[in-house]
Amino acid sequence: MDAFPPEPIPSSQCDGNSQDTSPCDVERVRLRKGGGEALVQLWGEQVSKLERIVQFRMDPNVRARIDPADVLQEAFLQVSKRIDEYIEGVPVSWFVWLRQKTLQTMIDMQRAHFSDKRDVHREVMRPSQPHGQTSSLSIARVLMDDCTSPSVAASRHEEFEQLRRALDSMNETDREVLAMRHFEQLNNQEVAEMLGLSSTAASNRYVRAMVKLGEIMKSISKQSP
């Protein structure tokens, strides 16, 4: 079962009953008419965004063995195998579907990496974090990388944990909106579709999350020596 099932979508974004071609139908039409060539073109239009998302979400413990490019290559193969699933009417937009498949591929590759690590008594399996529970670690890692020089990075573990715990205390949906908008750099409509929110609700949650993040960073800065 996929870890990223299609989320409910506001009807204005993917309404199959609209008299006009909806945004969710444009890519389906191109894929039906253009086949494999259209798939390559449509993938290429989104690959830079998908790479940024993988970079943000990937477990740092596997980066030495798994390159984001490897994830994207495998994700494209999985998308190619399941393209009929999208063409036949999965009720999500093209980018959201690609994001789901790419992140599922990343999770599967991470699971394979950790399941390969064994001790003399048992196999050690590191469970992959479900959707919505990786954002605290990912946000904290990016913020600490931005704020910390390599020379003092080793001494910042306590601050990292403080930041992670503070992010964990945020409303989960607000935190995901923050992760998607500010760090994955998705637009408001994409975030709204992904989380099953109206555009207004997604925008309001982003503003609230940014205010909360500012408060968190200010608090941690005051505690720093």
Q: By residue range, what is the domain housing residue 147?
A: 135-223
| Cα distance between residue 50 and residue 164, in whole Å | 24
Structurally, the chain folds into a number of domains equal to 2
CA trace torsion 64, 69, 73, 74 (10° rounding): 30
Same domain, yes or no: 176 and 96: no
State pLDDT tens for residues 131-160.
444 688 888 888 887 555 554 555 567 788
Give the pLDDT mean for 63-74.
Answer: 93
Same domain, yes or no: 45 and 111: yes
State pLDDT tens for residues 1-30.
334 333 333 434 454 444 444 556 899 999
Same domain, yes or no: 182 and 100: no
Contact between 3 and 107 under an 8 Å Cβ cutoff? The reply is yes
Neighbouring C-beta atoms of residue 185, cutoff 10 Å: 12
Same domain, yes or no: 35 and 103: yes
Same domain, yes or no: 109 and 143: no
What CATH code is carried by the domain that includes residue 199? Answer: 1.10.10.10
Same domain, yes or no: 105 and 147: no
Tell me the Ramachandran region of residue 186: left when phi exceeds 0, alpha when psi lies from -120 to 50, beta otherwise: beta
State pLDDT tens for residues 95-119.
999 999 999 999 999 988 877 654 3
Angle between helices 135-147 and 157-168 (to 10 degrees): 140
Same domain, yes or no: 170 and 104: no
Same domain, yes or no: 104 and 67: yes
> For position 70, what pLDDT does the model report?
95
Same domain, yes or no: 163 and 213: yes
Same domain, yes or no: 38 and 102: yes
Contact between 14 and 55 under an 8 Å Cβ cutoff? The reply is no
* Mean pLDDT score across all residues of the chain: 80
